[in-house]
Structure 1
């Protein structure tokens, strides 16, 4: 073992397997005193990142957890390690590449060697203790699949939803949302029919969608409602602030887009309703917001479920039924034991009423009638 590797090993022994500040300070002091160990320290960090991938984690999952548990310098350090490790990683799918593109790019502010070493060891402590997650390996693209037109379509959908969320005119928001939903539905129909005609149709995949606090229970319920309306299933992982969504690729795209749009609409409507409450003499309260989002999720779920019953023509039922069986089977294999999420802490009548009103006004027509 070289002297630099020995320094890293000694620092790891006293800090990574010891939760005390004393162990952390000792390890950081060893690393700060040996600049020649920096390259080995970085290489070991890349190994921790690669081990996280083997345990089912993806770049966005790691960044989300680091941001929640640690600080901005840790996030930037993790992003740098992920980028560097990607250069020697195996080929990954489209979603993985998109997560790499979304990594934060700001440089780490200059600090003294001891402070930097402390940050590194704190991050490595977290990476070392990541548990195994259900793998979300992306299937290879179907032979002859045209990804470029689909990508252009999804770019158009995102642009339309962004405009719908930004406009202050309800009629314009309605028209923009309807167009975006029409494009999503058309894409899903084409994908379903193509899969039914192919000799070896695509299997359902899965992705993770961040469900961040506060009020994460209501957000998870909203995501579940959107997933079910789009022929997908969602399973919430509360400790790590995400839901795993299982479904076919076109439907997964629709879920991500519609959930994000509805969450933006809910946040804007909640701020407006809360301002009206304050104007009436009421102070801002956590119970109002929690009740608002709970009611919003519940009501949007009802609207999506009702719409789903009238959107499918008889000739498409066998195709969609086959895909639903495949999605349910994949979900049950990934998550053999699941429990139902029940909303807690909903006690504000005004918040509930305002949430229902906002949900009734939200644009939720993710799929016009199919066929």
Structure 2
């Protein structure tokens, strides 16, 4: 507004105040949605007042309503070299990922704010940028690019004596390698638990739940179920949703499709209640797979179609391929070869088109099996 009234006015003070307003609001939302990584965001001038951000629903509604203004402020801050605002908004924007998708756009925002992070010269800020780069690259399926970013973050965080941040970086490395080296992922996740401070129960639960997921991939269903059930007893909602995913997949591996369905439906309900559409899609695919094994093919296809719709609208091709592949395997397992072939073919086309090389072999193998 100041620039519109007087084109010669310096826009920096106004954009700085606006940036601090959005930083303050996003920090409040971060607490409400339980983002565990401790981002080092600085607010130079806290605003005199914020809207009502006292509940999860009010917080995420504010974030969704202000999203266009927030991202425009980030772009202006980066352009005008308002470094603390550019870095803070670039990092905090990533908390919207599970609700909005768009990993590639969030990554671009981080890249745009990287020069500001470098100018600040704060190792903790740089560590957070490397960490978030790695996480988003992983979500985009660029695993070979994500690995060095996360390893750099781990080293910087360890040098800063940040046990929580280091554990989170190791945790993400474990998740990254779960697909191609589940045994190595288990070792990394055990390292993450080992470096955590004793009082960090929330992060410990999240890491242990991911450990149980890696155990499922290794076919160690009983061990996975034991870990997930233990974590579930004291878990926050998002960790509980992760535990339910694991319990459902373990149940299916042990031949209990009805139990798998019950767990997956509970996980869907949590994601719907918290507005995390990407997580909802993941669990909808689990519901569909359980329904296939229960002989309810029409219901299964409806759930999978909904999962696909969510992921297409969110612009998440990596997650979409990783929804197609297990569903295709399940179709084949229950004797529906034509549908299996269709999903394997779609997975291969998507993986090839988007450079998701680590997913191509499984899709190709599915087509020739």
More helix by share: 2
Normalised by the size of structure 1, how large is the TM-score? Answer: 0.27
More strand by share: 1
The structure having more radius of gyration, on CA atoms, is 1
Q: Which has the higher contact order (CA 8 A, sep 6+)?
A: 1
